[in-house]
Structure 1
Amino acid sequence: MSITTPSTTADRLFTEIHDGPTGWTGVDAGPEWAEEIRRLAAEKNATILAHNYQLPAIQDIAHHVGDSLALSRIAAEAQEETIVFCGVHFMAETAKILSPSKTVLIPDARAGCSLADSIDAAQLREWTAEHPDAVVVSYVNTTAEVKGLTDICCTSSNAVEVVQSIDPDREVLFLPDQFLGAHVRRQTGRTNMHIWAGECHVHAGINGDELTARAKAHPDAELYVHPECGCATSALYLAGEGFVPEDKVKILSTGGMLDAARETGARQVLVATEIGMLHQLRRAAPEVDFRAVNDRASCPYMKMITPAALLRCLTEGADEVHVDADVAARARTSVERMIAIGSPGGGE
Structure 2
Amino acid sequence: MSIIDGYRCSQTLFTAVGLKLFDHLTKEELLLEDLANKLNLPHLPALERFLNACIALKLIQLDKTNKKYSNTPSSNKYLVSKSPDTLTGYIGHNSQSSYLLWTKLPNAIHENAPQWQKTFNTIHGEEFTFDSFYRDENTEALFMSAMHGLGLTCFPAVVASIDNFQQFKTFCDIGGATGCLAITACKANPNLQAIIFDLPRIEKHAVQYINQTSADIRNRIIFQSGDFFRDPLPRADLFTLGRILHDWNDEKCQILVEKIYRALPEMNGAILIAEKLLVEDKSGPVTANMQDLNMLVATAGRERTCPEYKELLEKVGFKNIKCFWTGTYLDAIIGYKSN
TM-score (norm 1): 0.31
Q: Which has the higher helix share?
A: 2
Larger Rg: 2
Structure of greater relative contact order (alpha carbons < 8 Å, 6+ residues apart): 1
**TM-score, length basis structure 2:** 0.32
